[in-house]
Amino acid sequence: MAETIFFNALREATDEEMARDPRVLVMGEDVGHYGGSYKVTKDLYKKYGDLRLLDTPIAENSFTGMAVGAAMTGLRPIVEGMNMGFLLLAFNQISNNAGMLRYTSGGNFTIPMVIRGPGGVGRQLGAEHSQRLEAYFQAVPGLKIVACSTPYNAKGLLKSAIRDNNPVLFFEHVLLYNLKEDLPDEEYLLPLDKAEMVRSGEDITIVTYSRMRHHVMQAVKTLEKEGIDPEVIDLISLKPLDMATISASVRKTHRVLIVEECMKTGGIAAELTAQIIEQCFDDLDAPPVRLSSQDIPTPYNGMLENLTIVQPAQIVEATKKLLDNRI
Tell me the catalytic residues.
60, 129
Q: Is the peptide bond before 240 cis (omega within 30 degrees of 0)?
A: yes
> Rounded CA gap, 158 and 32, in Å?
19
Q: Which residue stretches of 150-241 are H helix?
A: 151-163, 212-225
Q: Which amino acid, residue 293?
A: S
Burial of residue 225 (CB within 10 Å: 0-12, 13-18, 19+) is exposed
> Rounded CA gap, 35 and 40, in Å?
7
User: Please, what is the Cα angle at 290 between 278 and 246, to 5 degrees?
Assistant: 50
Residues listed for the chain = 327
Checking phi first, is residue 30 left (phi over 0); if not, alpha (psi -120 to 50) or beta?
Answer: left
Cβ atoms of 242 and 195 closer than 8 Å: yes
Give the alpha-carbon dihedral of 276, 278, 284, 288, to 10 degrees: 50
> Rounded CA gap, 135 and 261, in Å?
11
> Rounded CA gap, 111 and 235, in Å?
24
